[in-house]
Amino acid sequence: MADPSRKALCPRRNRQHARRGPDAARRIGGGPVTHLALVRDGEDGIAVRQRPTPRPGPGELLLEPLVAGICGTDLQILARLRSDPAPVLGHEGIARVLATGPGTTGPAPGAVVIVNPTHPHDDSFLLGHNVDGLWAERTLIPAAAVTGGLVLTLPAYPSGALPALIEPLASVLYSYDITGAVLGAAPRTLVIWGDGIIGHLAAHFWRRRHPETTIVQIHHTDRGLRWSDRHGSADIALRHDDPGLPRALSRAAGPVAGLLATPRTATVPALVTLDATIRAELFVDVHGGLAPGRIATNAGALDIARIRAYNCGGEPNPPRAERFARPFAAPLTVFGHRGVANSHLAAAAAELDADPAGYGPLVTHETDLATAAELLTAILRGERAFRGERVIKAAVTIGAAA
């Protein structure tokens, strides 16, 4: 059961985002204007700190983040499993344009926008990775992202904490589009390996679109299974170490689509298990990251990391995948993607707006910046629950009215 005090400490308020304006920034002791941000603090910590508020230069935008999400990739960065250098993380959420630099063409001040975090052709922009992200009262968006069309105006968007789900749901929609293009039809069985936010978003979205598809969701912990029993959308829910899992997978009706919504350490074992147990034709979206190098499968030693990188930001179209013969089973097709296209972000915002009651329970925690630091610290200690409730998705409310 959830801690009854959580509603007062981490309320999930359903509200519209009110304009606060540039005066929300601070001027301390007659010095430079500053704002609050969640900043990586030393080796492994994170804390709320004052940061100088920049003025937008030519082609740049200054944003006021409204709601930002906490992503598994953020946790990997904080745990030093990735080397991304940005002091301020956060690549999911929505913001309001506060100011534009000289000659900037794009959304005008006052517009509510979402920033596509991945530039398909410019590695110098990766929001919340090598450029300061949205866990702050102010975020500067560089000209390369603005001129690259990565700042998308949202004429309509879901209320409350739901905007934190736009980017991860957009990734699910990209996966859905590639799966449809490669299969040409809906699979008879969908196996989702993962019980984090991507896994649950995928289960709910596929259930809405294809009620005829049998959805199998593979979980990491008993706590995750119990949460899915109350809120999940899968037909079959099992732990990854359940003795009955190989038999259940071997009986899956084909064609079978697999979605590996896994952390880096679990991607290869998940792929190997699906390949070893499913004899029907198998189409696997390697959504989770993995280290470079070849992986031993029934189809031979495959460079899965290379295949996963083929599709980025909606390009190419049609998407790329690789198909491999297996000696004692139907073929295996592998694909993946990085980032999303603007069209996926717009479609995700519309999907959330169409079904707020269905997606709403996935935002399990809504916090301010200070409480977000506490939540992140707890997760980095290995805790999967915060204040009595399992963390599926945490949304940080920054610029919204109280």
Mean pLDDT over 158-187 rounds to 96
Selected residue with higher pLDDT from 265 and 214: 214
Which range, of 225-234, 246-255, 340-349, averages the lowest pLDDT? 225-234
Which pLDDT belongs to residue 123? Answer: 86
Give the model's confidence band at 41: pLDDT under 50 very low, under 70 low, under 90 confident, else very high. Answer: confident
Task: Between 317 and 264, name the one with better pLDDT.
Answer: 317
**Which of 28-32, 60-64, 143-147 is the least confident region?**
28-32
Q: What is the pLDDT of residue 44?
A: 65
What does pLDDT average to over the chain? 90
Average of per-residue pLDDT across 16-39: 61
Please give the DSSP secondary-structure letter assigned to residue 306: H
Whole-number Å distance between alpha carbons of 282 and 254 = 7
Q: Which residues, at least 6 apart from 383, have a Cβ–Cβ distance to it below 8 Å? A: none
Tell me the C-alpha distance between 313 and 148, whole Å.
12
Q: State the average pLDDT over residues 395-401.
A: 81
All structural domains of the chain: 34-161+363-397 (3.90.180.10), 167-338 (3.40.50.720)
Closest to 197 measured CA to CA, from 159, 166, 226? 166
Q: Is the pLDDT score of 25 beyond 60? A: no
Tens-place pLDDT, residues 53-68: 999 999 999 999 999 9
Please say if the pLDDT value at position 347 is more than 70.
yes
Element housing 284 (H / E)? strand 282-285
Q: Is the distance from CB of 112 to CB of 153 less than 8 angstroms?
A: yes
pLDDT confidence of residue 400: 57
pTM of the entire predicted model: 0.90
pLDDT of residue 156: 85
Q: Tell me, what's the pLDDT at 249?
A: 97
In 3D space, the residue among 178, 247, 254, 248 whose CA is nearest the CA of residue 217 turns out to be: 248
Using the predicted structure, report yes or no on whether residue 260 has a pLDDT greater than 70. Answer: yes
Q: What string of DSSP letters covers 62-131?
A: EEEEEEEE--HHHHHHHTTSS----SS----EEEEEEEE-TT--SSPTT-EEEE-SB-SS-TT-BBTTTB
Which uninterrupted H or E stretch holds 264? helix 264-277
Residue 82 pLDDT:
86
Q: How confident is the model at residue 328 (pLDDT cuts 50, 70, 90)?
A: very high
Q: Which of 118, 34, 160 is nearest to 345 (CA)?
A: 118
pLDDT at 5 over 50: no
What is the average per-residue pLDDT within 305-309?
Answer: 95
pLDDT value of position 6:
31
- Give which of 346, 323, 319 is closest to 333, Cα–Cα: 323
Query: What pLDDT band is residue 122 in, cutting at 50, 70 and 90?
Result: confident
pLDDT at 3: 35
Angle between helices 197-209 and 166-183 (to 10 degrees): 50
pLDDT band at 155 (very low <50, low <70, confident <90, very high): confident
